[in-house]
Amino acid sequence: MTHQVNNMDLSIVISLLNERDSLPELLDWTVKAIGVMGIDYEVILVDDGSNDGSWLYIEERSLLDTHIKGIKFRRNYGKSAALHCGFEAAKGEVVATMDADLQDSPEELQEMYNMIKSGKYDLVSGWKKRRYDGKVSKNIPSKIYNATARMVTGIKLHDMNCGIKAYRKEVIKSIEVYGDMHRYIPYLAKSAGFTRIGEKVVIHQARKYGKSKFGLNRFVNGYLDLLSLWFLSKFGKKPMHFFGLIGSLTFLGGFICSTIIIVNKLVAQTHGIKYRAVTDQPLFYIALVALIVGMQLFLSGFLGEMVSRNSTERNRYLIDKRIE
């Protein structure tokens, strides 16, 4: 009976969608590049609903090479779902990700692996300093997107969304990648307490087969996802600190304005001075709206706090070390 090894040195997770033409060259290149490192490794290919025969090739290749493993989705769920399942299956002490379109070089993984193993980094992200994409359609939006991401997250990475990255196993086992949050794994890692984030310049290859699966809409969606992630990381477990504060200030402003209007009317009446009816003053309606909106925001924060306190995640904390 053979003994099953539960841990290994390196796991490479590759998400793919209709990349049948690039798979033979990708796997040959990867096996050659990692084979010279003399480590125990696995390549986990996650087929995100391909319909071009990609899975058939993965099955055939896995029979010839025990390093090749695969996960197949019944339909297309997206890259985040693919990485989530790949991370769950990964057994390596270091876990790396690459794209399947041959634009990432597997040879970069040797240095990224060594950077993680040195103990200096929890995560190393690639930086495609020189790109082979269309200047207008990708490069300019990408620069704007990355500048915004650096400002919001505080992580000084030039290429937040670069597909080739390497992580300590503890990082990918401690975070949950969902929706389209694969773009912000460094921020998810930082929010989980893994702050040693490095960067390595990588060679970007021109696409050889097929066409890109991503359009300009990914930058719009990425911006919205970034705001969602920032808000959740700041106020996910304490919504009252956000909604309650803004609601209280809004309510207070409306209350002060309405009080001033009413007091002015009463003073004018007392002294027999001609006055303007309260309902004829636009400021009164603005104050009324502020009172209503402020109350609603405060109640939203209160309800959010109730939900948060009853959540199963309310006491989920990541323990790095323990002495007993």
Q: Return mean pLDDT, the chain.
A: 84
For residue 243, what pLDDT is reported?
83
**pLDDT band per the 50, 70, 90 thresholds, residue 315:** very low
> What are the angstrom distances between the C-alpha of 109 and each of 11, 38, 41, 67, 321?
11, 13, 12, 16, 28
Beta-ladder partners of 15? 46, 99
**Judging by DSSP bridges, how do beta strands 41-47 and 68-72 pair with one another?**
parallel
Which is more confident, 222 or 195? 195
- 46-50, 185-189, 229-233: lowest mean pLDDT where? 229-233
- 15-24, 43-52, 307-316: lowest mean pLDDT where? 307-316
Q: How far apart are CA 41 and CA 11, in angstroms?
A: 6
What's the whole-number mean pLDDT along residues 165-180? 90
**pLDDT band per the 50, 70, 90 thresholds, residue 214:** low
Which is more confident, 206 or 72? 72
Residue-wise pLDDT for 239-273, tens only, equals 787 888 888 999 999 999 989 888 888 888 887 78
Q: How far apart are CA 16 and CA 54, in angstroms?
A: 9
If phi over 0 gives left and psi between -120 and 50 gives alpha, with beta otherwise, what is residue 249? alpha
**pLDDT band per the 50, 70, 90 thresholds, residue 319:** very low
Which is more confident, 152 or 64? 64
CATH number of 8-235: 3.90.550.10
Spatial contact of 283 and 257, defined as CB atoms under 8 Å apart? yes
**Residue 88 DSSP label:** H
